[in-house]
Amino acid sequence: MDEICVAAGELSDQQRAVFADVLSQAITGELIGMANYAAMVRLYPHQDDQRDMLLAAASELGHSERFRRAARELGVTPIVNLEAPYWLRIRTSLLRHVDANDPIACLLIQEVMLESFAYSMYHAVADVAHDRLATVFRAIGDEEDAHGDHAVEVLKRELAADREAFEHKLEQLHDEVMTTLAEMLATKDSVEHCGLCHGECVKGALQLVGLDRATLRGLALNRYLRTLDRIGVRGELSLSWVARLPV
Amino acid sequence: MGGTVAGVTPLPTPIFAAIGHQESWSQIASIVDKMRGPAQPALTEAQLREIVPWIPPRTVGRFTVAAAPNASPLHGVYIDTFITPDELALRPTRRVLDKVRDGIRAAEREGARVAALGGFTSILAEAMAIPCDGNLALTTGNTLTAALIVHGVERAASLLDRSLDAEDLLIIGATGDVGSACARCFAGRTRRLLLAARGEERLEREAARLRSFGAVETSTEVSELLRQASIVIAVTSAPAPAFALDECAPDAIVCDAGYPKNMQMATSHSSRRIFWGGMGRLAGGLVRNDGVQYSFPVAHSAHGCMLEGAVLAMAGRFEAFSTGRGRITPDRVQEMWLLATACGMSLAPLFDRAGVWPEELAS
């Protein structure tokens, strides 16, 4: 990706519009994260765990507020749409696993899959954005990174208890959720409009701010595979799952 | 790795690892497409170029090796670094070096005790002097490769009724780790030893060590020596050969021992007998459980660099046997050969891209 890093005042209207669409995705994603953690509270019988989920929900809400503030400073109005087709699909998946009383599935969706995309996208944007916007994206990206460690430890224990069952569950979740996430950065969409871009799909305009769809996709999948490696998932399995994602 | 809970089958811990990379986009395509499964369309090269550079080094296949058909098998893994063919053609970048380092980390995660570095990974790891954790020994695999090349050339000469002492043997890449080992093994055994390499100073130093055994000529220009050669060992590693084999004798024996194997591209004459050098075969079997790795015309065969880790594991010698930097002596080649043959390994029947040599089939 090219480095743009121009000051906010020097951005063209087209560049501002790209950042507006990127912020729409970030804010909506954080709010989906907040709702996901809030829904997961009931999966945990112990108050400490419930408090952790609520704190995580509050953290995601805080992130969305910081992105909103960054949007205001940039002079753009992001679209916040929790019913946006891709995000709704992901939210529906998570709620299905909440209803099935499956905290491991929920952790995998929220802490591994969604966070892989969030972390990599935020850092990629931070690398090309102007000072203030870069700072916000980088700081939130780092915060997303910090709370993934606990989940990895929990998931490692779960894998060690029954590798086959864990990897089977993960594969199903991968097909369910990662297919949607990958499609958000693929060349073709299965929906007419993502529900968050102001006009036409932003993917084709990302290069105006030094980003590109293929690199964002690659960074996210690299992060995802590395997280699965840390958990101990067999490398050949995770690669075979990623190999069949939409390109 | 592997669970210990009652009723759960633990994943066997691999005792050795082979770390490498693919030599062409078509090989990468075959791996990725097999992983995608038959229900999905094959990816285009453009799509592969979008995906592959981002894949972190990882295990892509598991296999077992055994010294004899009824011997208990040892488990190994093949770790692909996903260094792309495009990256091989350029000067190593930090990103490429990181891939080698991450490949080694992947072997450590798997719990392997010894890892062999194939293709360019050995060159890069040698340059970086990558430290390992206490349990993993790294070996370049070059000693077994050299042993297999030497035995391959002897086998080819024998199959074609040629006597080595009447041959002029050219080694292209003679100052590299494998090339210098081959030169030392053949010193004094051929009519002349012709050594070609890019670095004049190192070339002359290597030649000076060998002149006491017999006639040695050197050049930094491959074409100058090709015209005089009746046997050629090519151990250069370049995406495409930088010379034309047509300049050597029409009945020359060519041992294609570089990576990628591309000597066939360098000649238009089918009379030249080319074989893939450095290939070994395990009597007890080398069985892959995934079907995603490339296969050769000879069953249970693999590159020597990859097999060196398996041999060391079977022999219970978890050590950095080959450490690079031109330290391979004929004694070490012989030591490795004895270890390998004791583990049921032999030279693979000679073959090239077209298949096994007819002389091998007849014998």
CA-to-CA dists, residue B70 to A93, B67, B312, B339, angstroms: 49, 8, 19, 19
Name every chain B residue with its beta carbon within 8 A of the beta carbon of A218.
50-51, 53-54
pLDDT of B242 > 90? The answer is no
B289 and B263 assigned to the same domain: no
Q: Give residue-wise pLDDT tens across range B51-104.
A: 999 999 999 989 999 988 888 899 999 999 999 988 887 777 888 889 999 999
Instruction: Classify residue B267: in a domain, yes or no.
Output: yes
pTM comes to: 0.89
Instruction: Classify residue A2: in a domain, yes or no.
Output: no
Q: Give residue-wise pLDDT tens across range A113-146.
A: 999 999 999 999 999 998 899 999 999 999 988 7
Centre a 10 Å sphere on the Cβ of residue B150 and count the other Cβ atoms it contains.
25
Per-residue tokens: A30 = 């954080």
B190 and B290 assigned to the same domain: no
B208 and B242 assigned to the same domain: yes
Mean pLDDT of A6-25: 88
**A108 DSSP assignment:** I
Tell me the DSSP string of B286-314: EEESSS-S---SSTTEEEHHHHHHHHHHH
- CATH number of residue B191's parent domain: 3.40.50.720
What is the distance between the alpha carbons of residues B227 and B206, in angstroms, rounded to a whole number?
A: 22
Name every chain A residue with its beta carbon within 8 A of the beta carbon of B112.
none
Instruction: Classify residue A222: in a domain, yes or no.
Output: yes
Q: Which of B251, B278, B305 represents a domain boundary (last residue)?
A: B278
CB-CB: which of A214, A235, A244 is closest to B60? A235
Identify which of B119, B108, B147, B72 has the alpha carbon closest to the alpha carbon of residue B335.
Answer: B147
Determine the pLDDT at residue B92.
Answer: 77
What is the distance between the alpha carbons of residues A82 and A97, in angstroms, rounded to a whole number?
A: 19
The burial of A80, by beta-carbon neighbours within 10 Å (0-12 exposed, 13-18 middle, 19 or more buried), is given as: middle
What is the distance between the alpha carbons of residues A72 and B108, in angstroms, rounded to a whole number?
A: 48
Between chain A and chain B, how many beta carbons pairs sit less than 8 Å apart? 76
pLDDT of B331 > 80? The answer is yes
Identify which of A18, A11, A10, A73 has the alpha carbon closest to the alpha carbon of residue A199.
Answer: A18
B116 DSSP β-pair partners:
B18, B139
Instruction: Classify residue A1: in a domain, yes or no.
Output: no
Q: Give residue-wise pLDDT tens across range B246-281.
A: 788 889 999 999 876 767 666 666 678 999 999 999
Determine the pLDDT at residue A58.
Answer: 97
B55 touches chain A (CB under 8 A): yes
Determine the pLDDT at residue A9.
Answer: 67
Instruction: Classify residue B285: in a domain, yes or no.
Output: yes
| B window 158-187, beta carbon within 8 A of A | none
Per-residue tokens: B210 = 């060998």
Question: Cβ contact (<8 Å) for B54 and A218?
Answer: yes
B209 and B247 assigned to the same domain: yes
Identify which of A140, A101, A120, A116 has the alpha carbon closest to the alpha carbon of residue A231.
Answer: A116
Determine the pLDDT at residue B36.
Answer: 87
| A window 67-106, beta carbon within 8 A of B | none
What is the distance between the alpha carbons of residues B195 and B103, in angstroms, rounded to a whole number?
A: 33
Instruction: Classify residue A235: in a domain, yes or no.
Output: yes
Instruction: Classify residue A3: in a domain, yes or no.
Output: no
Q: Which of B222, B250, B278 represents a domain boundary (last residue)?
A: B278
CB-CB: which of B1, B53, B55 is closest to A225? B55
Instruction: Classify residue B9: in a domain, yes or no.
Output: no
What domain range includes position B220?
162-278
B272 and B321 assigned to the same domain: no
pLDDT of B8 > 90? The answer is no
By DSSP bridging, strand B231-234 and strand B253-256 are parallel
Look at B357 and B134; give whichever has higher pLDDT: B357
Q: Which of B223, B251, B278 represents a domain boundary (last residue)?
A: B278
**B73 DSSP assignment:** P
Mean pLDDT for all residues in chain A: 93
B27 and B125 assigned to the same domain: yes
- CATH number of residue A146's parent domain: 1.20.1260.10
Looking at this predicted complex, what is its ipTM?
0.90
Residue of chain A nearest B7, judged by CA positions: A162
Determine the pLDDT at residue B2.
Answer: 38
Name every chain B residue with its beta carbon within 8 A of the beta carbon of A219.
54
Nearest CA-CA distance, residue B273 and chain A, Å: 38
Handedness of CA B169, B172, B175, B176 (dihedral sign): negative
Task: Look at chain B and report how many structural domains it folds into.
Answer: 2
Nearest CA-CA distance, residue B310 and chain A, Å: 20
Nearest CA-CA distance, residue B2 and chain A, Å: 6
Instruction: Classify residue B353: in a domain, yes or no.
Output: no
B220 and B320 assigned to the same domain: no
Per-residue tokens: B290 = 């995934």
Instruction: Classify residue B156: in a domain, yes or no.
Output: no
Q: What share of residues in chain A are helix, strand, coil (percent, to 5)?
A: 75, 0, 25
pLDDT of B1 > 60? The answer is no
Task: Look at chain A and report how many structural domains it folds into.
Answer: 1
Tell me the DSSP string of B142-186: HHHHHHHHHHHHHHHHHHTT--GGG-EEEEETTTSHHHHHHHHHH
Q: Give residue-wise pLDDT tens across range A28-56.
A: 999 999 999 999 999 999 999 999 999 99
Nearest CA-CA distance, residue B43 and chain A, Å: 9
Identify which of A83, A80, A33, A81 has the alpha carbon closest to the alpha carbon of residue A54.
Answer: A33
Question: Cβ contact (<8 Å) for A222 and B1?
Answer: no
Buried b / exposed e along B44-70 (16+ C-beta atoms within 10 A) = eeebbbbbbbbbbbbbbbbbbbbbeee
Determine the pLDDT at residue B7.
Answer: 46
The length of chain A, given as a count of residues:
247
B20 and B134 assigned to the same domain: yes
Instruction: Classify residue B57: in a domain, yes or no.
Output: yes
Q: Which residues neighbour A218 within 8 Å (Cβ) at sequence distance 6 or greater?
A: B50, B51, B53, B54
Helix H or strand E segment including A140: helix A131-146
Position A7 confidence tier, pLDDT thresholds 50, 70, 90: low
Identify which of A8, A110, A14, A1 has the alpha carbon closest to the alpha carbon of residue A53.
Answer: A110
Residue written as token pair 């990974």:
B121
B221 and B289 assigned to the same domain: no
What domain range includes position A122?
8-243
B178 and B190 assigned to the same domain: yes
